[in-house]
Amino acid sequence: MGAVSDSISNELRAFIEAQQAFFVATAPLEPAGHINLSPKGLDTFRVLGPNRVAYLDLTGSGVETAAHLVQNGRITFMFCAFDGKPTILRLYGRGSVVRPESPEWAALAPLFPTLPGGRQIIVAEISRVQTSCGFGVPLMRFDGDRDALVRWAEAKGRDGLRLYRERKNRTSIDGLPTS
């Protein structure tokens, strides 16, 4: 039913590239801290190599992933097939945050679509790749990407997004810093 590997095969890379959504999970070290699980989309995930992935993180209501990565680096990605062969894929690794002022940004940013609100790129070194059956995942049809986040970011504008991030994206819900 499932398999474990230490790297992303070409077959799994094709599976990842065919998915319209993915999920990212992180957690603080404190037992009472909140575990974060976020759905993502908008063609923002890239496989950079057999053990390296990245996604463009857009400005939003929270900043848990960055805060958790700064604290401990642990990250898990999950992809589910909502059509075709039932498959679930999890990528386990250690992540870091690349911000626009970072030297690595210039090399990574062109790999992603230009979307308003891009605040950081999450990069992860993958150490475990695991598939499972996905028999319980429902069949669903992709009708298209939602444009609400893009429209919201466009309406805020560059300065408005900067102010929003300064006010609302400096710490996690548990008070962990993002840098």
Residue indicated by tokens 């309406």: 155
pLDDT in tens, 30-77: 999 999 999 999 999 999 999 999 999 999 989 999 999 999 999 999
Q: Which two tokens stand for residue 28?
A: 């603080």
Number of domains in the chain: 1
In-domain check, residue 151: yes
E-strand spans in the chain?
3-5, 22-26, 36-40, 45-49, 52-58, 74-80, 88-98, 118-132
pLDDT surpassing 70 at residue 1: no
120 token code pair: 């950081």
pLDDT tens digits for range 135-176:
999 999 999 999 999 999 999 999 999 999 999 999 999 999
In a domain, 130, yes or no: yes
- What's CA 176's distance to the chain center, in Å? 19
Query: What is the model's pLDDT at position 2?
Result: 87
Tell me whether residue 178 is in a domain. no
For the CA atoms of 130, 133, 135, 136, the dihedral, rounded to the nearest 10 degrees, stands at -30
Residue 98 forms part of a structural domain: yes
Residue 114 lies in a domain: yes
Domain that holds residue 26: 3-168
In a domain, 177, yes or no: no
40 in any annotated domain: yes
What's the CA dihedral at 106, 109, 111, 115 to 10 degrees? -150
* Torsion angle of C-alpha atoms 131, 62, 65, 82, degrees rounded to 10: 10
154 located within any domain:
yes
Task: For residue 35, give the CATH number of its domain.
Answer: 2.30.110.10
How confident is the model over 92-121, as pLDDT tens digits? 999 999 999 999 999 999 999 999 999 999
pTM of the complete model: 0.95
